[in-house]
Structure 1
Amino acid sequence: MPDIDNPYGTFARYSADLSLFLLVADCGQLSRAAELAGLSQPRLSQRMKSLEEALSRVLLRRERRGVTLTAAGQELRAALSPHLAEAAAGFARFQRPAGRRTVVIETDLAFAGLRFLPVFPSLCAAFPGLGISLLTRQMPEADPGPDVDLMIRMEPRRDESPGECCLFPERVLAVCSPGFLAAHPGLASPGQLKDLPLIELTATGSPPWFTWSSWLAGLGPGTRGSGDRLSFNSYDHVIQAAEKGLGVALGWRGLIDSRLETGALVPALPAELESPRGYMLRMLARQPGDELRAVYDWIRRAFGGAGLSPRG
């Protein structure tokens, strides 16, 4: 049967390298991705080159400070990321022995995709006898129900307690691609955004994070953008659109730091706002066991130091 009629057979040939490609895309660095995958950096680099040759597409730009995605790489990541992440979590649940203790973590899509998934293999490796599941929603409920053990959610910041801490505060700046900034030189004040395309994350109701309206209002009365608005229902797509040079996006410190470090994104303005909110980590059980406390402490330590890259 031809490959076009046998998508499972076709996918099987590339599945391992596609998973590694997503890990590289999330990390923005071959060295970090190789460490998480348990491979040497030269071996991982060779597998990425082999994948590109097999697909006849250039997926990665190899730069001095890391790697960025080409347009083809961004397209492939957008097509695969949500589905492979869900498949990996489902397979982990299937592998779990009957009766094995499970810790369920719920968070939003942006935090999961940009910060948590790159360190998730290290978290699982730290607790080999424990099942760990990750549930994601665009806007998790404050009270998710009895099945969720740990919640990571954008909320008003509170003082640290034995079962709650702030992983990092909400600090937001306007970001764009280097090419977009070069095409619009001299950006220095929010008022200059009024005729530029602004990329935003769609959300129902009043989301517990900065929107373009609230961010611009926080910079001063009468400050607003009036140019085109490009809306996406995934923050990952917002960032990809900004990297492609389609406009200016809001960038959350702690989520896009790797993009700023590699130069895939640059600040469009010097202004940066911090809110009283932050990504709060909470234990939901009233009497958490030792295993749950250990997972909570691992995550707290991994993201300790607001805005720093997590340590595996």
Structure 2
Amino acid sequence: MSGIRNPYGSFSRYSADLCLFLLVAKTGQLSAAATEAGLSQPRISQRMRALEDSLGQTLFLRERRGVTLTPDGMDLLAALQRPLGDAIEAFDAFRRKPQSDEVVIMTDIAFSTFLLLPEIASLSAAFPNISISVLSQQKPDADVSPKASLTILMEPVPDGDDNATLLFKERVTAVCSPAYKARHPEMHEAKDLADKTLIDLAAKADAPWYTWAGWLKEQGGTRDTAREFIAFNSYDHVIRSARSGLGIALGWEGLLNSDDPASGLIRAIPAVLESNRGYVLRAVDGRAGANTAKVFDWLADTFATT
């Protein structure tokens, strides 16, 4: 058995770095490979150096604009590209296949809190023989959540995609409590918000939704002039704070109805911004069965307003 164990043991020590080697060879750049792998460029460079040292061979020529394979690197690529590439694709397909008849809906915390969870009892009652669960995250990613069969995410409006349907477009206004508005009757346009307390949802610069910075920029204002800026990592906390009179929040039409007195919110200023994004219901490729299709149709009928 030692003859079997040794090759497997040897490959297991190198397998992760060999996958990274294929990425670097494919992209021709350490930075591009690092982005695709979700690593820093120094880290992937370190891993490639370690691989070369372990093999005792130079695999790349490092140049100003990227990397080039050496003859040894080309030999390794030729040996690995097809079998390891096939293994990567096969594992990804295996990981994505439905594990059971369960339907898992992945969405962000805001949609889950304000729309989906209030309807989850009705959804379960409509399909008593289907196990339905909800996976909510601040910024969900179905690629790293193999159980998700449906997603409801803020993303660009789909065009001609049979696996997706737009529930509603992103339309955003500034909202506050009636008491806060009464204390600041001078608020009529974006520039009037500069010295007010702005409440935001904590997010990275590439967040797929309006932040105060983006919303004010399109309105001709600037976040930098705000006297006070407060951020929470939950949209529920953002809205609760606005209702309490803390300051002004961004309100997404579809999630909130600030025109309803029961919402506890009113528009701070009349302006409404609409983007080319929206909440999109999508069946995840390779994970959609008959049960998923039934739940998809129910969600579309319940939440689509377009």
TM-score of the alignment, normalized to the shorter chain, above 0.5: yes
1:106 equivalent to 2:100? Answer: no
Counterpart position of 2:159? 159
1:278 equivalent to 2:278? Answer: yes
Q: Deviations over 1:117-150 (max 9, x none)?
A: 0111101100000000100100001524331100
Gaps of 5+ in 2: 1-98
Change (3 A) 1:276 1:243: same
| In structure 1, C-alpha distance between the alignment counterparts of 2:249 and 2:142, rounded to whole Å | 26
The 8 Å contact of residues 196 and 248 in structure 2, kept in 1 or not, is answered as yes
Counterpart position of 2:121? 121
The 8 Å contact of residues 201 and 238 in structure 1, kept in 2 or not, is answered as yes
The 8 Å contact of residues 103 and 133 in structure 2, kept in 1 or not, is answered as yes
| In structure 2, C-alpha distance between the alignment counterparts of 1:222 and 1:204, rounded to whole Å | 18
The two structures, once aligned, show a CA RMSD in angstroms of 2.0
Query: SS of the residue aligned with 1:257?
Result: coil
Length-normalised TM-score, structure 2: 0.64
Counterpart position of 1:256? 256
Aligned residue type for 1:197: T
Counterpart position of 2:150? 150
Change (3 A) 1:280 1:263: closer
Greater than 4 Å deviation, 4+ residue runs? 221-225
Aligned residue type for 2:155: E
Post-superposition offset of 1:100: 6.9
1:82-97 to structure 2, matched below 5 A, reads: none
| In structure 2, C-alpha distance between the alignment counterparts of 1:181 and 1:201, rounded to whole Å | 21
| In structure 2, C-alpha distance between the alignment counterparts of 1:226 and 1:220, rounded to whole Å | 14
The 8 Å contact of residues 198 and 225 in structure 1, kept in 2 or not, is answered as no
| In structure 2, C-alpha distance between the alignment counterparts of 1:263 and 1:162, rounded to whole Å | 35
The 8 Å contact of residues 191 and 225 in structure 1, kept in 2 or not, is answered as no
The 8 Å contact of residues 213 and 222 in structure 2, kept in 1 or not, is answered as no
| In structure 2, C-alpha distance between the alignment counterparts of 1:178 and 1:221, rounded to whole Å | 23
Query: SS of the residue aligned with 1:133?
Result: strand
Residue correspondences, number: 208
Gaps of 5+ in 1: 1-98, 307-312
1:210 equivalent to 2:210? Answer: yes
Change (3 A) 1:256 1:221: closer
Counterpart position of 2:294? 294
1:237-256 to structure 2, matched below 5 A, reads: 237-256=237-256
Query: SS of the residue aligned with 2:169?
Result: strand
Length-normalised TM-score, structure 1: 0.63
Post-superposition offset of 1:288: 2.7
| In structure 2, C-alpha distance between the alignment counterparts of 1:270 and 1:101, rounded to whole Å | 47
Query: SS of the residue aligned with 2:298?
Result: helix
| In structure 2, C-alpha distance between the alignment counterparts of 1:152 and 1:170, rounded to whole Å | 13
Change (3 A) 1:142 1:157: farther
Post-superposition offset of 1:205: 4.2
